[in-house]
Structure 1
Amino acid sequence: MKKSLITNTHGFTSEALRKEERAISDAFFRQRVTAVRLILEGFSTVKAAEVLGICRQSVSTYVKMFNRGGIAELLQRNFPPGKQPYLSPEEQMEVKKVILESTPEQEGIEPSQSWDTRLLQKWIEERFSVTMSRSGIADMLHRLGLRWKRTTYVLAKANKEKQQAFVHQVEMIKKT
């Protein structure tokens, strides 16, 4: 009789694993559970890998994970942490607050009424002594839930009646 690769079933039978498999919507994790189920049913790692279309080492890794921590470890996926951000979360919230509550002119950057990445780059460098690229600033703003909109010029002293009369006059010219 062949020795089983699974040393600890953690209370799971082949049928229980099949039910667990059907409940998982993520194909990546479903494949892991299927690999363990096939080994539990007596398939070799080579045969299970062939059935699933993955390499033999992956099946062995999944079985080791299952033996060590059960279904919980099998369904755990750790991503690498990635690069540390240039600004701390507190600093990022300060940037967001400045964008929402003030203008570049109020912050002493430039006589402008709206922020753009060029002005933010300048302000961040002055305030935090950190040099960031404009695309990095745009990505950070996106993560903070801010969206860029093109600014429009609005006349502060515009006369609504004159504007409507002008639009009416243009429409009359179009008709003739």
Structure 2
Amino acid sequence: AGISALGQTYYPPSLAAALDHTWRKDPVLYPERRLQRLIGEFSARNLEGRPYTRAQNVRATFVAAYDRALTDVDVLLMPTCLTTAPAYRERPDFPALLTWAEGNDDRAMGLPGLRNTLPFNYTGHPAITIPCGRSDSLPVGMQLVGRHLNEATLLRAGYTYQHSVPFDELIAVEATR
């Protein structure tokens, strides 16, 4: 939700207020927010913000580590997710949505699927994911990570990859019925 440059993050107050209003207005539409709010409230009441401030205080260490990794290369390539995509299942109507989300595995909230993407929200390094194949007929993505303010290199690398492989075949939707 913020604009990030060189590991410094700015969150526009108007955007935060609009999101908060939306989440409060129809919380059943955002079941993952309930857990985030509970964790946030617990942290505020019992830990007084210490985990957040510690995380912010070590951010520069993580930024520097990725900067060093990118010293001699233009782009880092890694899997986007550590697991394959979950198989498609019909989603129930909204009144049952919360029960559906809570009854699913942790991929219902994006974890552990986001484990490789979250560091770049934290460090501010640009990253892009590109479909690169399939595992058991489910899509697999590769993530490219670049230097700060060098999104153009990532886009060129993604474009080059897309035009070097049978990309239309990679991203084609397979019928499952």
Q: TM-score, normalised by structure 1?
A: 0.20
Compare the two structures and name the one with the higher strand fraction: 2
* Structure with more contact order per residue of length (Cα contacts < 8 Å, sep ≥ 6): 2
Q: TM-score, normalised by structure 2?
A: 0.20
Larger radius of gyration: 1
